[in-house]
């Protein structure tokens, strides 16, 4: 198919100083969870984006010196010449597809703990940041930089820029955002210096200006030197000749960098989930830049709609469509637009599982794209998959995320697939959960797959087909895949911290009851020891329906796990906004005569009774594995029916997040002939 001419503008080349990007699709620097320790994994994860049409592909934050050490988080580094080789691997992989390769040179300043290198963190004026945030703070305060430190910092940037050039990078960033290094010098509340690097705005900008100029002198003939700048905090500080100090800084440095990459100073804002932000939500933070500079501007905004991308360019907001998450969910997004296949885009759902993987210190994974992180070690490609035997028939039972992904990928492999679903609607849990407040985008998990399946003549879908084990045997197939999901349980936590007994009572419900429309009485108590989104989403739903709602949880925060996907603060704010009461660090131990008994998780803590019209236990899920167990109980029975293998995938095997179900469905489809035990390549440090 041909590209829609409406989108031609997205495919115009754009000059960035001495280099030229082939189009406007720009994978901005984003952490990948690989660091330098996994160079092959990293190269393959970046390469696939270049292959998919992203014109510029960047590394994540890349430390220039041991005084910028983010251990245990997996950051990259260019500390000395020995670090060059691992980057060259990625650069070559990206260049193979005609894209530019960029590196984000980073000094963390006081924003790092230096846990591994044990160097005192450097800062403009010794102000300890994060001191209200125990999860991030270090026990050692940063030290103030003297003039020798400043000279050295500039020198480290230049040395790292030279190494980046020798690795083959085309674009070299100076990172001046998110509280790091040179950015701290810009902020009057962190920069209290009285020398030529503090005080007036011209002085506070000096370090960044000198660093950019020094980098340009060193490598600017062949490499573009870009700046990454956080605008939001300084947009709130009134300027002298412009509306804000953010404007002033851009005006002062306007033509020095070859590219402006503008973003929030707060990672939870930059990566706000779809539950709490819309596409293009960063516009107020970056739209002021273009009128102040002739250099190209890039910004992010979870862009998945090509029409919105065109609007960003045509209305003079951005020159490049920056993306981290949309490029993770669909590395081939640009190619699909280029080939007139927009309806095949696997749109990011904004769930931030990718963010949580980085916090976990593992290669980024994605709910929508099960191949993310598996490109090198398993050899998975997001668009290509080895052909299977078209004569072989596979029956998939259950059309939730696991069954849908399995059926889609099996169909792509060419098998003859039958997908049977008990309900009249496909999608399983994502169909139900996408009706919760803020989760509408989650339906994209279903829609991408049902759209693909509809185009496949070799995949038949049967709705309202609740299959028994006998049905499976009678239908006949070579392989049976069971993807029958999981159900929430009424079990509550015992004192040893795992679910024990179900709470009995007419007014005890599970999330399944609420999702399926059960009407409950106020006050509603949501007992949440799942710690992810479900408890707070149900609270919001029921509160908006007019109920009095309280969340009780043994954790010390509502939806405590969502610290990992950057949602926790937003969730707490939403609870406050809606007047949802929160009772932390409590166990629900009994329900008698409409009264709920709560016990502190601490020895010697208080016990209390509270009024409860309905209790929604949001804790454990148990697998719906009866069909799987029946079919695997007697191998002779299935063998006699001609079934070579039976596979359980997704929640019916091990209840988890949607990302697990999609991955399990994909893995099963790739390995159906020989089981899911293909060798995986592990990266090893070479000594």
Q: Which is nearer to ligand SF4, 36 or 367 (CB)?
A: 367
Among 286, 368, 418, 450, binds ligand SF4 (CB under 6 A): 368
The answer to whether 109 touches 181, Cβ cutoff 8 Å, is yes
Cis? peptide before 523, omega within 30° of 0: yes
C-alpha–C-alpha distance, residues 656 and 240, integer Å = 54
CB of 356 to ligand SF4, least distance (A): 8
- Answer whether 87's CB lies under 8 Å from 103's CB: yes
Catalytic annotation present for 180: yes
Retrieve residue 460's tokens.
């038949």
**479 pairs with which residues across the strands?**
394, 645
* Pick 28 or 245: Cβ nearer ligand SF4: 28
Closest to ligand ADP by CB, 153 vs 483, is: 483
Q: Taking the complex as a whole, how short is the minimal distance between the CB of residue 396 and ligand SF4, in angstroms? A: 23
With vertex at residue 572, the alpha carbon angle to CA 571 and CA 578, rounded to the nearest 5 degrees, is: 90
Residues 584-623 that bind ligand SF4 (CB under 6 A): none
Name which of ligand ADP, ligand SF4, none residue 484 binds, using a CB cut-off of 5 to 8 Å depending on partner kind: ligand ADP
367 is a contact residue toward ligand SF4 (CB under 6 A): yes
Angle at alpha carbon of residue 38, lines to 654 and 657, rounded to 5°: 20
**Strand segments (E) across 45-170:** 56-63, 76-77, 100-106, 122-123, 143-144
- Selection from ligand SF4, ligand ADP, none that 421 binds (CB < 5 to 8 A by kind) is ligand ADP
H/E stretch holding 274 reads none
Shortest distance in whole angstroms from residue 651 CB to ligand SF4: 18
Q: Which one, 17 or 427, has the nearer CB to ligand SF4?
A: 427
Residues in contact with ligand SF4, counted by CB under 6 A, come to a total of: 13
Catalytic residue among 173, 175, 180, 527: 180
Distance CA 407, CA 396 (A): 7
The nearer residue to ligand SF4, 366 or 643, going by C-beta atoms, is 366
- How far does Cα 131 stand from its chain's mean position? 26
Among 366, 410, 467, 469, binds ligand SF4 (CB under 6 A): 366
Q: Residue 349 binds which one of ligand ADP, ligand SF4, none, with CB within 5 to 8 A depending on kind? A: ligand SF4
Which of ligand ADP, ligand SF4, none binds 367 (CB below 5-8 Å, type-dependent)? Answer: ligand SF4
Please state, in angstroms and rounded to a whole number, the distance separating the CA atoms of residues 577 and 75: 36
Residue 112 has what DSSP assignment?
Answer: -
Min CB(487)–ligand SF4 separation in Å: 24
Nearer to ligand SF4, 78 or 323 (CB): 323
3 state SS of 165: helix
Q: Which is nearer to ligand ADP, 137 or 422 (CB)?
A: 422
d(CA 35, CA 29): 13
- Choosing among ligand SF4, ligand ADP, none, which partner's interface includes residue 329 (Cβ < 5 to 8 Å by kind)? ligand SF4
Out of ligand ADP, ligand SF4, none, what residue 301 binds, judged by CB under 5 to 8 A for its kind, is none
Write down the number of H helices and E strands in the chain. 23, 30
d(CA 476, CA 478): 7
Q: CB of 648: closest distance to ligand ADP in angstroms?
A: 9
And the tokens for 586?
């409590």
Q: How would you write 285-333 as a 3-class SS string?
A: HHCCCHHHCCCCEEECCCCCCHHHHHHHHHCCCCCEEEECHHHHHCCCH
Which of ligand SF4, ligand ADP, none interacts with 628 (beta carbon under 5 to 8 A by kind)? none
Decide if 74 contacts 30 (C-beta within 8 A): no
* CA dist., res. 687 & res. 685, Å (int): 6
Nearer to ligand SF4 by Cβ, of 204 and 325: the residue is 325
Nearer to ligand SF4, 249 or 274 (CB): 274
| Distance of closest approach, residue 686 Cβ to ligand SF4, in angstroms | 31
CA 642 – CA 621 distance, rounded (Å): 33
Distance CA 348, CA 561 (A): 21
Choose the one of ligand SF4, ligand ADP, none that binds residue 121, judging by a C-beta under 5 to 8 angstroms depending on kind: none
Q: Which does 627 bind (CB under 5 to 8 A by kind): ligand SF4, ligand ADP, none?
A: ligand ADP
**Which residues, listed in sequence order, are joined to residue 598 by a DSSP beta bridge?**
588, 608
Residues within the interface to ligand ADP (CB under 6 A)? 397-403, 420-423, 428-429, 465-467, 483-486, 624, 627, 650-652, 661
* Residue written as token pair 């709602």: 549
* Footprint on residues 299-358 left by ligand SF4 (CB under 6 A): 325, 328-329, 348-354
Asked whether 33 and 73 are in contact (CB, 8 A), the reply is no
Shortest distance in whole angstroms from residue 445 CB to ligand ADP: 9
The strand pairing partners of 595, in sequence order, are 592, 611
Rounded distance between C-alpha atoms, residue 667 and residue 317, angstroms: 41
As annotated, the active-site residues are 180
Interface ranges with ligand SF4 (CB under 6 A): 325, 328-329, 348-354, 366-368
């Amino acid at each position: 198919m041909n590209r829609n001419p409406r989108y031609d503008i997205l495919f115009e080349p754009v000059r960035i100083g001495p280099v030229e990007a082939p189009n406007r699709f720009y994978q901005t620097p984003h952490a990948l969870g690989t660091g330098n320790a996994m160079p092959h994994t990293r190269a393959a994860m970046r390469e696939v984006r270049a292959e998919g049409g992203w014109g510029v592909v960047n590394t994540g934050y890349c430390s220039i010196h041991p005084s910028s050490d983010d251990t245990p988080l997996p950051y990259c580094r260019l500390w000395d010449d020995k670090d060059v080789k691992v980057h060259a691997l990625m650069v070559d992989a990206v260049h193979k597809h005609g894209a530019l390769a960029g590196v984000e040179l980073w000094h963390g300043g006081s924003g790092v703990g230096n846990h591994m290198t044990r160097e005192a963190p450097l800062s403009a004026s010794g102000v300890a940041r994060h001191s209200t945030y125990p999860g991030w703070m270090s026990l050692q305060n940063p030290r103030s930089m003297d003039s020798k430190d400043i000279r050295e910092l500039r020198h480290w940037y230049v040395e790292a820029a030279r190494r980046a050039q020798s690795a083959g990078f085309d674009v070299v960033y100076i990172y001046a955002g998110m509280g790091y290094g040179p950015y701290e010098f810009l902020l009057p509340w962190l920069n209290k210096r009285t020398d030529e690097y503090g005080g007036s705005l011209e002085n506070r900008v000096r370090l960044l200006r000198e660093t950019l100029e020094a980098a340009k002198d060193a490598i600017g003939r062949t490499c573009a030197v870009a700046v990454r700048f956080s605008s939001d905090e300084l947009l709130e500080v009134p300027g002298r000749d412009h509306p804000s100090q953010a404007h002033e800084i851009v005006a002062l440095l306007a033509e020095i960098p070859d590219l402006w990459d503008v973003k929030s100073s707060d990672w939870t804002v930059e990566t706000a989930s779809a539950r709490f932000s819309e596409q293009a939500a960063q516009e107020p933070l970056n739209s002021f830049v273009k009128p102040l500079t002739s250099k190209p501007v890039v910004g992010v905004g979870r862009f998945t709609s090509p029409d919105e991308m065109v609007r960003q360019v045509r209305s003079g907001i951005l020159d490049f469509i920056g993306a981290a998450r949309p490029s993770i969910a669909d590395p081939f997004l640009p190619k699909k637009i280029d080939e007139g296949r927009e309806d095949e885009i696997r749109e990011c759902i904004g769930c931030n599982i990718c963010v949580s993987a980085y916090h976990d210190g593992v290669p980024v994974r994605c709910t929508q794209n099960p191949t993310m992180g598996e490109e090198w070690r398993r050899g998975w490609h997001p668009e290509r998959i080895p052909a299977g035997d078209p004569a072989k028939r596979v029956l998939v039972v259950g059309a939730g995320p696991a069954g849908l992904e399995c059926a889609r990928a099996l169909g792509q492999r060419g098998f003859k697939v039958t997908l049977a679903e008990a309900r009249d609607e496909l999608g399983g849990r994502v169909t139900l959960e996408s009706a919760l407040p803020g989760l509408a985008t989650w339906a994209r998990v279903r829609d991408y797959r049902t759209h693909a399946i509809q185009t496949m003549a070799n995949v038949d879908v049967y709705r309202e087909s609740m299959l028994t084990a006998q049905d499976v045997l009678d239908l006949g197939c070579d392989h049976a895949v069971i993807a029958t999901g999981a159900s929430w349980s009424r079990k509550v936590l015992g004192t040893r911290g795992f679910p024990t007994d179900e709470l009995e009572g007419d007014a005890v419900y599970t999330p399944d009851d609420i999702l399926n429309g059960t009407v409950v009485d106020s006050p509603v108590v949501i007992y949440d020891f799942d710690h992810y989104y479900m408890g707070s989403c149900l609270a919001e739903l029921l509160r908006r329906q007019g109920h009095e709602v309280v969340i009780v949880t043994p954790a010390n925060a509502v939806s405590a796990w969502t610290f990992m996907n950057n949602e926790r603060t937003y969730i707490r704010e939403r609870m406050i906004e809606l007047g949802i009461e929160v009772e932390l660090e409590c166990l629900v131990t009994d329900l008698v005569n409409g009264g709920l008994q709560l016990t502190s998780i601490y020895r010697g803590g208080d016990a209390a009774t509270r009024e409860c019209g309905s209790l929604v236990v949001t804790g454990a899920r148990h697998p719906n594995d009866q069909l799987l167990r029946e079919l695997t109980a007697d191998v002779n029975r299935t063998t006699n029916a001609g079934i070579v293998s039976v596979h359980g995938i997704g929640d019916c095997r091990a209840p988890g997040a949607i990302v697990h179900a999609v991955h399990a469905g994909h893995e099963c489809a790739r390995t159906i002939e020989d089981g899911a035990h293909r060798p995986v390549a592990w990266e090893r440090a070479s000594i």
